[in-house]
Amino acid sequence: MYGERVARWERAVEWPLMIAAILFLLAYAVKIIYQPTGAVDAASEVVLWATWALFALDYIVRLTITEQRWRWFYRHLLDLAIVVLPMLRPLRLMRFLTVLALLNRGAGNRLRGKVTIYTIGGTIVLILMAGLAVLDAERGGPGPIEDIGDAVWWAFVTITTVGYGDYVPVTDIGRIVAVALMIGGIALIGVVTATVASWIVERVADEEHKKAAATEDQVERLRDEIAELKSMIRELKPAA
């Protein structure tokens, strides 16, 4: 929609950005889980800033080479947010998951295949990121979440809306992360259900309507035949 140059650029940077996103996640995880000092800490910081710079650069390039700049800007506010809010950056990982979509062949399954991949990928990244963020916020505080195992376990319990209550965040940032996870959980239930429902509705329809509905094409061809009929009768007339 925004010119072929953007599409070509996006294809070119797909893999570099995916690797950058994974490096970002790893550096973030190292920083939070091991709380390193000295060289390791400095290296993590370098990776975090370098990957951020890459995503910012990608945003600026795309904004520059697109044909309809303002329209692109308004339709890619989330991309801007991803550059501005470093915490959201790993969501970028999602875009590259589409390569897995190659496994999903067949017309009707295409959209559902994509939705399934985005949902699984998005849920995993959301759980990992929320686990890291809540560990960062809660560790050393009055709450029970003190290591990464507890944090990821808490994230699973929350996103599935089970909510045992054995681990609960007590800090403000921890609670904000929890609310994001809960909203993710509601969305997760929604998407899973909707995908299954779409599949069932379609399969039931296939079972029942062996007799397909008449198509516009068919009726058009019928009309051509009648037009031919008319011209045949027109020829007949002077002869009579």
**Which residues in 146-175 contact a second copy (CB under 8 A)?**
149, 153, 156-158, 160-166, 168, 172, 175
Least distance in angstroms from the C-beta of 183 to a second copy? 7
Q: Please identify, using beta-carbon distances, which residue of 58 and 169 lies nearer to a second copy.
A: 169
| Phi-psi map region of 140: left, alpha, beta (phi>0 left; psi -120 to 50 alpha) | left
Q: Please identify, using beta-carbon distances, which residue of 38 and 207 lies nearer to a second copy.
A: 207
Could you tell me if 185 and 193 are in contact, meaning their C-beta atoms sit under 8 angstroms apart?
A: no
Query: Which of 150, 148, 147 minimizes the C-alpha distance to 167?
Result: 150
Q: Please identify, using beta-carbon distances, which residue of 46 and 179 lies nearer to a second copy.
A: 179
Residues between 180 and 219 with contacts to a second copy, criterion CB under 8 A: 182-183, 185-204, 207-208, 211-219
Q: Please identify, using beta-carbon distances, which residue of 39 and 236 lies nearer to a second copy.
A: 236
Least distance in angstroms from the C-beta of 181 to a second copy? 9
Least distance in angstroms from the C-beta of 97 to a second copy? 18
Q: Please identify, using beta-carbon distances, which residue of 4 and 172 lies nearer to a second copy.
A: 172
Could you tell me if 174 and 138 are in contact, meaning their C-beta atoms sit under 8 angstroms apart?
A: yes
* DSSP codes joined into one string, 78-127: HHHHHHHSGGGGGGGHHHHGGGGGGG--STTHHHHHHHHHHHHHHHHHHH
Residues between 31 and 60 with contacts to a second copy, criterion CB under 8 A: none
Least distance in angstroms from the C-beta of 80 to a second copy? 17
Nearby residues of 21 by Cβ (< 8 Å), 6 or more positions away: 51, 89, 90, 92, 93, 96
Q: Please identify, using beta-carbon distances, which residue of 42 and 183 lies nearer to a second copy.
A: 183
| Phi-psi map region of 42: left, alpha, beta (phi>0 left; psi -120 to 50 alpha) | alpha
Q: In the chain, what is the straight-line distance between the N-terminal and C-terminal CA atoms, in Å?
A: 60
Least distance in angstroms from the C-beta of 164 to a second copy? 4
- Does position 5 interact with a second copy (CB under 8 A)? The reply is no
Least distance in angstroms from the C-beta of 237 to a second copy? 6
Least distance in angstroms from the C-beta of 144 to a second copy? 10
The DSSP symbol for 187 reads: H
- Does position 131 interact with a second copy (CB under 8 A)? The reply is no
The DSSP symbol for 76 reads: T
